[in-house]
């Protein structure tokens, strides 16, 4: 039986471990030729070695799949171009890009350094742009192609001590929608997934309180490999009409997230004054205000 990605060439960034590794392996099992991109860096983006990318590629080849390791950086324009060119040189085409590479430099906002903010935005948001922009001309020529970008409920909902990460992950949502709109005429689609998975990035989150330790025990049940099936489904031709959406995957659960739309309106026929806004507009809308929720407040039930 042919796989659902038979004949396709897929690039997966951050595929040396965790969510990215699971996606790369599943894509190969579905028949895709895979470029396994990973710098082999530490959680904060420092260091680097070819081991993780090569190990994933070796595992794919061990079961008869086709894969090649790549250690170029998504954060730099030229090296992102080189990743896509690697796919073209080896396999002659490019059909899908999974933007999964990431780093973490957490810190409370009023203490966050410019370096830590820039480093996270550069990998997550700029990296998504670099990779997508590098692949887009080829998708346009072929009049087909799929992007899957990893966002996070840290951006969609909120989280403590992650201003850089939250900003980057919410920026990815806007970028994905813009790509979907601009590339629709070429049959190119772009979607986001917020993955819930226990990875080394999640493991690095401090757990100094009893609540935090209990939450970490729940997180340990989130299997990184379970993000792969839905990701690969979005890369198939059967999902050619799915674009501009935001999904979530948590073990055996798949979510479709809402997108910002007006929910209340206040009108003043004579025009608003500052005092009028305070006396009328804000009180009218206040019942519909959102609480300062974090991801754990919204996803308050255990994964299934």
DSSP string, 44-99: TS----SHHHHHHHHHHHHTT-EEEEE---TTSHHHHHHHHHHHHHHHS---EEEE
Q: What is the C-alpha to C-alpha distance for residues 31 and 148, in angstroms, rounded to an integer? A: 18
Instruction: Kindly give the pairing relationship between strand 96-99 and strand 188-196.
Output: unpaired
Q: Are 189 and 180 in contact (CB under 8 A)?
A: yes
Phi, psi of 287, deg, nearest 5: -60, -20
Q: Are 13 and 38 in contact (CB under 8 A)?
A: yes
Phi, psi of 197, deg, nearest 5: -155, 150
Q: Is 165 a catalytic residue?
A: yes
Of residues 91, 165, 255, 290, which has the active-site annotation?
165
Q: Are 249 and 255 in contact (CB under 8 A)?
A: yes
Phi, psi of 272, deg, nearest 5: -85, 145
- Catalytic residue numbers read 165
């Amino acid at each position: 039986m042919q796989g659902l990605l038979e004949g396709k060439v897929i690039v997966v960034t951050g595929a040396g471990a965790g969510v990215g590794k699971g996606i790369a392996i599943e894509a190969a099992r579905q028949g895709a030729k895979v470029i396994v991109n990973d710098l082999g860096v530490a959680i904060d983006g420092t260091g680097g070695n070819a081991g993780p990318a090569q190990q994933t590629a070796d595992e794919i080849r061990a079961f008869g799949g086709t894969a090649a390791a790549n250690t170029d950086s998504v954060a730099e324009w030229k090296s992102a171009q080189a990743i896509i060119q690697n796919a073209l040189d080896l396999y002659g085409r490019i059909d899908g890009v999974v933007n999964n590479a990431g780093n973490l430099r957490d810190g409370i906002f009023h203490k966050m350094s410019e370096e830590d903010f820039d480093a996270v935005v550069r990998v997550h948001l700029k990296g998504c742009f670099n990779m997508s922009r590098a692949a887009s001309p080829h998708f346009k020529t072929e009049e087909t192609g799929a992007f899957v970008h990893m966002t996070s409920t840290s951006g969609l909902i909120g989280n403590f001590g992650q201003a850089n990460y939250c900003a980057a992950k919410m920026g990815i949502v806007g970028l994905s929608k813009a790509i979907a709109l601009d590339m629709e005429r070429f049959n190119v689609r772009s979607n986001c997934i917020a993955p819930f998975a226990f990875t080394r990035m999640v493991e690095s989150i401090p757990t100094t309180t009893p609540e935090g330790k209990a939450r970490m025990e729940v997180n340990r049940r989130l299997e990184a490999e379970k993000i792969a099936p839905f990701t690969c489904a979005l890369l198939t031709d059967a999902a050619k009409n799915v674009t501009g959406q935001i999904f979530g995957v948590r073990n055996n659960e798949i979510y479709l997230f809402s997108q910002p739309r007006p929910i209340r309106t206040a009108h003043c026929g004579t025009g608003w004054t500052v005092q009028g806004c305070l006396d009328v507009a804000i009180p009218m809308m206040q019942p519909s205000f959102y609480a300062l929720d974090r991801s754990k407040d919204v996803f308050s039930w255990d994964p299934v």
